[in-house]
Structure 1
Amino acid sequence: MAKYIGVMSGTSLDGIDLVLCEIDQSTCTLLKAGEFSYDQSLKTEILDMIHSTTTLKAIGELDVKLGKMFASAINTFIEQNKIYKEEITAIGLHGQTLWHEPNSEHPFSMQLGKSSVVAAQTGLQVVSDFRSNDIANGGQGAPFAPAFHHFVFDRLYKNIAVVNIGGMANITLLGDKYLGWDSGCGNVLLDYWIEKTQNKPYDKEGEFAKSGKLNEALLNKMLDDPYFSKKPPKSTGREYFNPTWLEHYLIKFSDLSDADIQATLTELTAQTIAKDCTDAEDIILCGGGAKNSYLQERIADLSQKSVKTTNDYGVDSDFLEAMIFAWLAHKRIHEEHVDLQSVTGAQKNSILGVITCN
């Protein structure tokens, strides 16, 4: 069995997750895990770049700065856990998504965090740029989680939905075949609103949402957004669900309290997830949203299904996404196609990722 490091920083921009996994053809075992803080100046720079105009120089420099940030976190992780670099086959580096545009005339998905910088500063080979081949073959380039969910859970459980609630929420349906798509916004609007109004990075246990009252009129306006009725394959990101999107709907609801808006945004996430899990018997949550007990409660009430986390099934919900990219690195090193046609809509399955050697 070979060892791989997986690195993930999602659309929430709330930290860098790192894992050390031992992987073979049938198992992916988590050996070590850690979370590292995100450089706040880089977070601000990323959000400013997404929501305003920028320059090629700024993008290029941010690419290098993120590479250095990832490399520093990886080296610290290796040192803290007394990992021998000689034992590591490769790093699976997702990178930081700056823009995801799979439906344009010239589709692409841009992740920053220069792999050559990471390889040079860690002394390890890096597998990155996982989304491009799928998009080149007509796919959405996302979500990738369903392939790993199938690998981990399908032999044990049938007719379940695995839901990763990060900045966006993605659904995997495991049955006779597996399907997956982004249901829409996960934590991205919840985090934005509570940070704006309460100066907190997230709504712990959904307490602020619980203190407010759901506004049905605002909720129904947001649910009318075309994305929610669009049939899969579909994927999304901050380029769509962002402060501009939210403020557009809030214009006519200036009389609502901040807590009422938080409650309504939580219901938006819960309802769109519950609706997309209709065909499953049970729901398993992972990602940051799995820690929001009020959100979990609303999904359970709306879906009338058993809702647990992947922790209940022996997989750490905090680090499952990072494990995905350790596993994808393993697939790339062995030149194995990843079965995503039924998820992304690609014309064929692809070998995903680009290898950068030190």
Structure 2
Amino acid sequence: MRVLGMISGTSHDAIDTALVDIRQHGDRLDCRVLGTGATPYPAELRRELVEALPPGRVGLDAVCRLDTGIGRAFAEAAQRAVAEHGPVDLVCSHGQTLYHWVDGRDVLGTLQVGQPAWIAEQLGVPVVADLRARDVAAGGQGAPLVAHLDVLLLAGLPGRAAALNLGGIANITVAGDPPLAYDTGPANALIDAAVLAATGAPYDDGGRIAAEGRIRQGLLDELLDEPYYRLPPPKTTGKELFHPGLLDDVHTRHPGLSLPDLVATLTALTARTVAAEVERHGVTTLVASGGGVRNPVLTGMLRELLPKVRLLRSEELGLPADAKEAIAFAVLGWHTFHGLPATLPSCTGARGSRVLGSLTPGAGPLRLPAPLATLPTAIAFSS
């Protein structure tokens, strides 16, 4: 089955796509990655999205415009993926998280926008969407859903294995019985916000700005005092907590702070908070993915803090690092279409595993396959 996975993550700079041919052989999924891509948001749409994200305040008219505009942008990105890589049988769209409603450790609700009907209308195939809400309704955090793919990917690795995703927010999945998964804190979110505000560039390309600065230990200690880091898992966070407004407070407390020093310190914040969780669980092999793996300053800090940990990029296991989340949602969509649950209660905190999402029919009659009896326990990738 050819499934197109789609997501715009907490960096909210582009729509990531991955077309995956997924076939089940016993308890293993064999996945052939047919093509990946990233379609930047139109500048005006991204501006409206940034203004709507916390701590911004917008009306329902803006939410409606974003739901439609992002839905249409996803449909265009899907059409581009099909033109480049061939037809699809199913789309699974995460959409764009606009708000994740967290009260202490409890997630009370979550809102992803990007109306899936635009994709169904454009391609004429069924679309799975709104995947997080069911886990939240079952008492879970609604995240990190990528943990399901991580656990399948880590199966069979020696020692204590974990997967790390360095997107806007960093999350970790630790293999075990049961497995654990949670957000550790910011990955690129604060770094990107600082660079964007000062230069207009969306991120610290190649870690060049951080490499020019020095870590301000006093500021780093202040940032590490955030109570979120001391909460036990399962837990999730987002730009509701780690938003650009924090940087305004930093500049107020530290006048004259240079951009390189700020970015170096924020990069160290990500490395320190990630390394603390890796050490907490005695991880010996760490499989990393996400945009942060392209930042040699960040990965260098991680290697320095974790000298005894084998740090791999997910490509070494056949999984493209930049497209991991889009691939994960292709796999989640496949599970939903076949009636299989794809959440891990020990990772999200839900009362039980659930079949995720809502399904928008395509152009013809909606025909679902009979639910499968065997839940996959491992996954293999090829290209």
Verify same fold: TM over 0.5.
Answer: yes
1:293 to 289, 293, 296: 296
Match of 1:75 in 2: 79
> Of the candidates 55, 58, 61, which is equivalent to residue 57 of structure 1?
61
Q: CA deviation at 1:7?
A: 0.5
Rounded Cα–Cα distance in structure 2 between residues aligned with 1:254 and 1:338: 48
Segments of 5+ residues of structure 1 without an aligned counterpart are none
1:43-54 pair list within 5 angstroms: 43-50=46-53, 51-54=55-58
- The 2-side partners of 1:205 and 1:158 are apart by 31
Match of 1:11? 10
Question: What is the rounded CA distance, in whole Å, between the counterparts of 2:259 and 2:343 in structure 1?
Answer: 43
Contact 2:145 2:343 in 1 (8 A): no
Q: Is the 8 A contact 1:4 1:22 kept in 2?
A: yes
3-state SS of 1:41 partner: helix
Give the conservation status (yes or no) of the 8 Å contact 1:102–1:135: no
CA distance in 2, matches of 1:255, 1:75: 47
Check whether the contact 1:102–1:139 (CA below 8 A) recurs between aligned residues: no
1:171 aligned residue: 172
Which of the residues 288, 311, 318 maps onto 2:315? 311
CA contact (8 A) 2:107 2:140 kept: no
Residue identity matched to 1:346: A
Report the Cα distance in structure 2 between the residues aligned to 1:150 and 1:106, rounded to whole angstroms: 23
Letter of the structure 1 residue corresponding to residue 3 of structure 2 = Y
Query: Which amino acid in the other structure matches residue 314 of structure 1?
Result: G
> Counterpart amino acid of 1:313?
L
Task: Give 1:1-358 correspondences, 5 Å limit.
Answer: 2-25=1-24, 26-27=28-29, 28-50=31-53, 51-81=55-85, 83-84=86-87, 88-103=88-103, 107-278=108-279, 279-304=282-307, 305-358=309-362
CA distance in 2, matches of 1:106, 1:222: 23
Counterpart residue identity of residue 66, structure 2? L
Does the aligned pair in 1 maintain the 2:195–2:204 contact within 8 Å? yes
- Deviation string, structure 1 residues 208-241 (Cα, Å, up to 9, x no partner): 1111111111000110000111111111111110
Kindly provide the amino acid, as one letter, of the partner of residue 283 in structure 1.
L
Superposition TM-score, scaled by structure 1 size: 0.95
Residue 341 of structure 2 aligns to a residue whose secondary structure is: coil
Match of 2:203, SS state, is: coil
Distance in 1 of aligned mates of 2:97 and 2:232? 23
- Give the distance between the partners of 1:79 and 1:40, measured in 2 at CA: 23
Give the aligned residue type for 1:91: V
Give how far 1:52 is off: 2.1
The amino acid that maps onto 2:126 is Q
Give the drift of 1:102. Answer: 4.0
Q: Shift of the alpha carbon at 1:323?
A: 0.5
- Counterpart residue type for residue 97 of structure 1: T
1:103 CA drift (Å): 3.3
Counterpart CA distance in 2 for 1:175 and 1:205 is: 34
Residue 159 of structure 1: CA displacement?
1.1
In the alignment, residue 18 of structure 1 is paired with which amino acid?
T
Q: Which AA in structure 2 matches 1:194? A: V
1:166 Cα deviation (Å)?
Answer: 0.4
State the number of aligned residues.
353
Letter of the structure 1 residue corresponding to residue 170 of structure 2:
A
Q: Which one-letter code corresponds to 2:148 in the other structure?
A: A
Counterpart CA distance in 2 for 1:176 and 1:247 is 43
Shift of 1:80: 2.1
Letter of the 2:294 counterpart = K
List alignment gaps of at least 5 residues for structure 2: 363-383
TM-score normalised by structure 2 residue count: 0.89
